[in-house]
Chain A
Amino acid sequence: MQSQINFNRKLDKEDYTLKEKDFIRLSLELNLFFGRIMKEHLIFMAITLPIKNSEYILEADTLKKSFEELLMEVLSISKGNLSKESLESDEFVTKYTLDAEKKVEKLYGICIDKELTKSTLELADNETNYSYNLEGYVYDLNSRIINLLMDVIKFKEKVIDEVLKCDLAIFIYPEMLEHILEEAKFYLKLLLDIQEKILSDKDILKREAFWNHIMEEHALFTRGLLDPSEEELIKTAHEFAKTFEELLKKTKEAEEGKACDISKENLKATEDMKDFNISATKGILACEIKSLINPLLADHLLRESNRYIRILKEFLRKC
């Protein structure tokens, strides 16, 4: 009797440890990716709001700073606690991120914490940082991020509401405002699930539909923000929008049994999109492409493609 109890305890403990590790890893990866996405959304809003709406510009800037602080905290406990795949995916930072930030800071006059980027670039140096009670710390950090995220969602909703009523003119397409709001809500849902220890990536096709939609819209925004003289690139962007529109439809209609085939198709398209993102980021940084896309936005889109590719590959390994 006695030994049986001990045996059970041991099993429980191992099971718990595994979960704890996953909880920490998934939380950190999610925050490193989306925390940066969120802070960049706020940068994009701050540089496209009319000067007249300076109170909104300040609000965006304050929220951005809060995200930078929390990201710094995430970074401080990330070393050694991330998966190899996530580190190799270029979804947290790319080799273009730092240059893009420098350029944007100089031309747009908005402050960007570049130490964050440098530390993120150094994450790959493997060194275990696993310490006792990290789980509690991560849980608390997630909670604080959730609170901030709710503020960001409120801010974005307020801006969209005024834009749709034509009370506010921001130089971001209304569809793009909805897009960044959707991403914030998606991030929030994933964080809430993680806090409940629920793995939310069970329904892969649903997730792929979300990302296909994101990819389609990236292509649409790129198409419109390119200078009209960039005719070839406009055509390419238009084609990508059509491709992802079709894939979105296909993914939504697909049955679970077809998930592997669909994911392969989605991966192929997203890898093409990634190449397009890379040449756009390089071209914009080198001042060879005329557009209203700032270098950081180009890099931001690239990172989202990179993350989607990792998700697809992770699933495809099970196929």
Chain B
Amino acid sequence: MLSRKEFIQLSLEHNLFFARIMKEHMIFIESGLLIIDSSFILEGENLKESFEDILRETVELAKGAVSNSVLNSNEIVTPYTLESERITEILTGICIDENITKSELELVSNSAFIYTEGLEEKLKDLNERAINLVKEVIKYKEEILKRLLKCNMFANLYSLLIDHILREARYYLMALESIQRKEKPIKDILENQIFWDTIMKEHAQFVRGLLDPTEVELFNTANGFVETFERLIDKTKKAGPKDIPEITRKALESTIEIRDFKRQGTQGLINCQIQAIAYPLLADHILREANRYIRVLNTTI
């Protein structure tokens, strides 16, 4: 059973992190779809705007209430997010509300914050609306994935990427539903790690494929990460409760490494020093996911 403070903080953290992730998924989908599928582009755009609304509201409620460990983890925004958004907006023509990012950058933690019943009620309501919206997004992503896999639609997006972001949406939904029931969202530590290790592995696969073939060094590094996380996933699947400390340490070590790689990638794309068919916002996006996973792993340790 979550305390009021825990409920409030978990609600805020999840929505701050995932509502942004969701809205960015919509940006990536929109930029990868073809003009012939303009109805899907418009639907993606509407969903993106709805998530921006949720995010804006969350940021307002989060002022002072979120822990320092979350704010310092760079999982909500990074020092590169704003610049990534600007470049991505110029290149794709997709509107990205930079005011949200700016107010996120100004978030602070207040140790004297009072967690009121009124705030709890507001978040219950917000979570409910987020749940409904995520359900819509899940349907939308499922529809696109189905069409891609049946070759009824083509997009400049790997189908594994759609599958990947669909799993993230489902994860967000499950977490929110747990929180609404006043339960901790993570039930099984190792299962949770397998989920996020797979996410990390797939990030490495996407990077490997999206890099220009001339980026041989980066290609090899990305390929190395694919193998590292594959091994880790195998090990974690075989592990029992007593192996948790060791497995977690390994996961942390690999995730810190891939985080550094992603940071380098984000900087390289922003400065136009890396050749790839990816936007800086995608790099910053996967950087934030690594940052969050690192925080979760540190909490376990």
Contact = CB atoms under 8 A, between A and B. Distances in A.
Interface of A: 47-48, 50-52, 103, 107-109, 164-166, 168-175, 217, 220-221, 223-229, 241, 287, 290, 292, 294
Contacts of B36: 107-109
Nearest to B273: A166
B17 to A, nearest CB: 24
B204 to A, nearest CB: 9
B211 interface: yes
B35 interface: yes
Contacts of A52: 91-93
A164 B274 CA distance: 10
B185 interface: no
Across the A-B interface, give the 9 residue pairs with the lowest CB-CB distance, nearest first: A109-B36, A52-B93, A228-B205, A287-B151, A166-B272, A220-B213, A171-B156, A169-B91, A107-B154
B158 A224 contact: no
B279 A51 contact: no
Given A109-B34, A226-B209, A228-B208, A292 B158 contact: yes
Nearest to A285: B151
Contacts of B158: 227-228, 290, 292
Nearest to B205: A228
Interface string B5-41: 0000000000000000000000000011011100001
A225 B160 CA distance: 12
Given A170-B277, A294-B154, 13 more contacts: A50-B31, A50-B93, A108-B34, A168-B91, A169-B31, A169-B91, A172-B277, A173-B277, A174-B214, A175-B212, A227-B158, A287-B151, A292-B157
B149 interface: yes
Nearest to A284: B151
B211 A224 contact: yes
Contacts of A172: 277
A174 B275 contact: yes
B154 A221 contact: no
B174 interface: no
B241 to A, nearest CB: 31
B246 to A, nearest CB: 28
A228 B202 contact: yes
Contacts of A50: 31, 91-93
Interface string B264-301: 00000000100101010000000000000000000000
B163 to A, nearest CB: 8
Contacts of A168: 91
B84 to A, nearest CB: 12
Contacts of B214: 174-175
B33 to A, nearest CB: 9
B160 A287 contact: no
Contacts of A287: 149-151
A292 B209 CA distance: 10
B152 to A, nearest CB: 8
Contact of A51 (B93, B151, B209, B213): B93
Nearest to A172: B277
14 contacts: A50-B31, A50-B93, A51-B93, A108-B36, A109-B35, A166-B87, A173-B275, A220-B213, A221-B213, A227-B159, A228-B158, A228-B160, A290-B160, A292-B158
B153 interface: yes
B261 interface: no
Nearest to B36: A109
Contacts of B93: 50-52
B210 interface: yes
Interface in B128-159: 149-154, 156-159
